[in-house]
Structure 1
Amino acid sequence: MQDLPLRYFHSVAQTGSLSAAAEELHVAVSAVSRQISNLEESLGLQLFERRPRGMKLTEPGELLLTYANRNALDMKNVLAEMHGLSAVQQHKITIACPEGMAWDFLPRVTSEFRTIHPGASYDLQVVDAARASQLVKDGLADIALTYNLTPSQGVEVALSHEAPISALMSAQHPLATRSVLSVEDLRDTRLALPYAGSTIRYLFDIACHLKGIKVVPTYTSQSLGVIYTVVCHSQDIIALCGAITVRGVTARDNLVLVPMSDQQLSQRSLQVQIMAGRKLPMLVRHFLTFLENQLLLSHHQKL
């Protein structure tokens, strides 16, 4: 496939309109429109739905965009090698993840990785799970850490790690000495929960519904930092979170984590996603290996 039509296609796909792409490419709108039409004709496929307010990718267009993003990244890596840049130092690692993973775990892991690779630099983008996957798919992030419940087209799962949901509470809470809890045990307790729509809240609500339990939380917030601080200052409050997100700080704050036994809360997995089919730079590959070891270490600490 010729480079020029693909470049025009990529610009239209990213900007969502012919006029915005023309401005970005410094060409006439008619030139962009002609390149897109020629590309669709040569492929025998419709790549865009023409709408009054822009251009929306069709399913074949989504597949081509994935190819175009991967092609651009591969070219960037080849050019870096041609210019003689160190294979380990040529790439900043861009990571996209929800707040839970960015709150303690990833800052700690990336700092420890720099003791092995001092030249490593990072761009940590805190977004929701769907956006994290999209950033990887679009080539704007090297790695996404998500709790996605459904697979995303254009990404592949490089690592998958068990990430069950636990109850977080003060060591002085009456339930803190229990070895395991269920949603039935939380029926009459004061809870701090994330907003509806988060993975934790979604799975918790399902578990409650199956047991016929109605729960009205004392606190709700979209921020793990808020919920964690509430638990720190309230001996009667229980929060739900993934153990991996707070394990490094609970002992310091005199908090405990108690596993939840409900099937819906114990079978959650953390996915480490990369762009499908992409040849990752060496530094990113080293980081993935290091990340896998840290996840395994966290699992053994839990046991």
Structure 2
Amino acid sequence: MLEAMAIRYFREVTKSGSIKRAAAALHIAPSAISRQIQGLEQELAVKLFERGARGMSLTNAGHLLLRYAVESRKQLDDIRTLVQEFDSLQRGHIRLATVEGQLASFISDFVLDLSRQYPGVTVAVTAVGSRDVAEMVGRHEADLGLVFGRAPRRDLIELARMRQSLCVMVSPHHPMAHRKFCAVKDLAGLRCIVPDPTFGIRQEIDRACARARVAIDVYCETNSLAFARTVASRSDLATFLPQDAAAPELATKTLVAIPIRDKSLEATQVTLVQPATRTASLPVRRIAQLLAAQMKSRS
């Protein structure tokens, strides 16, 4: 069962108003429900119900958890529907163009899951800059695309967006590594290896620095985010990436992510696009739906 047992029991108690009635509806012992509710309260360190003569009513914290329980149930139902529809798909081929930052974690995880569940579906993944992703999708050289920022062309449809806030990435030995966050003004004079100006990441950083009237010290430009990550992890140079783009290095603690407190840099995103002038095939529609669901779950 995909849904956590404790959440299922909590929702039933909320609906019925008592543990006894919830137990009767679920055909289990009241003590089993009581243990799960107590476990939730202990884990969250809050009281979820007020117990009274007329039954159990939700506290303010309980109402927040109920909202989560209802939303998560709907997401599970949506995913179950997609999976059941997709299960009939035995073969197909998808051409996906993506910005490089999504390869380190999001796209690699998605492709691996897809290969295990649907071995008859093949995928071609091309990593290019956002402008080239849009060009490939617009020219029908790719079925789907992931661009950094909003869709840059009118002949593309936006299917989903995923928040990808930009961070300063430094080695654990860098003087900034201890910081919990920084402001754009703190970047003044920071020695960096940065993506070249064709990258949306670089464009956002340049705009933010221009607004704050600060300048970073660009030691090296590159068209490879993997190269930027490697150099930053082994030197005193900083770079700028979303956390997903440096997931392997963050997991092994060879890089440290420092969030940048800036509205525009915190709101940066990746957008899933497809051509507006072409009817997508069944495999493309199914994979687009699965990708969109994954993006929503990670936003």
Q: TM-score, normalised by structure 2?
A: 0.65
Given residue 176 of structure 2, which amino acid in structure 1 is its aligned partner? L
1:70-107 superposed Cα distances (whole Å, 9 cap, x missing partner):
xxxxxxxxxxxxxxxx9623420100112222344312
Task: Report the Cα distance in structure 1 between the residues aligned to 2:109 and 2:178, rounded to whole angstroms.
Answer: 28
Task: Report the Cα distance in structure 2 between the residues aligned to 1:136 and 1:120, rounded to whole angstroms.
Answer: 20
Across the aligned residues of Structure 1 and Structure 2, the Cα RMSD in angstroms comes to: 2.2
Given residue 254 of structure 2, which amino acid in structure 1 is its aligned partner? N
In structure 2, what is the equivalent of residue 179 of structure 1?
180
Task: Report the Cα distance in structure 1 between the residues aligned to 2:131 and 2:200, rounded to whole angstroms.
Answer: 11
Contact 1:133 1:146 in 2 (8 A): yes
In structure 2, what is the equivalent of residue 89 of structure 1?
90
In structure 2, what is the equivalent of residue 247 of structure 1?
247
In structure 1, what is the equivalent of residue 263 of structure 2?
263
- Summarize the alignment of residues 15-164 of structure 1 with structure 2, pairs less than 5 Å apart: 88-149=89-150, 151-164=152-165
Given residue 254 of structure 1, which amino acid in structure 2 is its aligned partner? T
Task: Report the Cα distance in structure 2 between the residues aligned to 1:270 and 1:245, rounded to whole angstroms.
Answer: 11
Contact 2:169 2:258 in 1 (8 A): yes
% same residue: 22
Task: Report the Cα distance in structure 2 between the residues aligned to 1:157 and 1:281, rounded to whole angstroms.
Answer: 17
Q: 1:218: Cα distance to partner?
A: 2.2
Matched residue SS, 2:119 = coil
Matched residue SS, 2:117 = coil
Matched residue SS, 1:196 = coil
Matched residue SS, 1:176 = coil
Given residue 283 of structure 1, which amino acid in structure 2 is its aligned partner? P
1:6-61 superposed Cα distances (whole Å, 9 cap, x missing partner):
xxxxxxxxxxxxxxxxxxxxxxxxxxxxxxxxxxxxxxxxxxxxxxxxxxxxxxxx
Contact 1:101 1:245 in 2 (8 A): yes
Task: Report the Cα distance in structure 2 between the residues aligned to 1:248 and 1:286, rounded to whole angstroms.
Answer: 28
Q: TM-score, normalised by structure 1?
A: 0.64
Over 4 Å off, 4+ runs: none
Q: 1:200: Cα distance to partner?
A: 1.4
Alignment length, in residue pairs?
Answer: 213
Given residue 135 of structure 2, which amino acid in structure 1 is its aligned partner? Q
Task: Report the Cα distance in structure 1 between the residues aligned to 2:134 and 2:198, rounded to whole angstroms.
Answer: 16
Contact 2:97 2:144 in 1 (8 A): yes
Q: 1:148: Cα distance to partner?
A: 4.2
Matched residue SS, 2:210 = helix
Task: Report the Cα distance in structure 2 between the residues aligned to 1:99 and 1:292, rounded to whole angstroms.
Answer: 18
1:247-293 superposed Cα distances (whole Å, 9 cap, x missing partner):
24422243221211122312212110011154433332332233234
In structure 1, what is the equivalent of residue 290 of structure 2?
290
Matched residue SS, 2:217 = coil
Q: 1:297: Cα distance to partner?
A: 4.4
Q: What 5-or-longer segments of structure 1 have no aligned partner?
A: 1-85
Q: What 5-or-longer segments of structure 2 have no aligned partner?
A: 1-86
In structure 2, what is the equivalent of residue 223 of structure 1?
224
Task: Report the Cα distance in structure 1 between the residues aligned to 2:210 and 2:151, rounded to whole angstroms.
Answer: 21
1:112-151 superposed Cα distances (whole Å, 9 cap, x missing partner):
1222112121111222212212222222211000014454
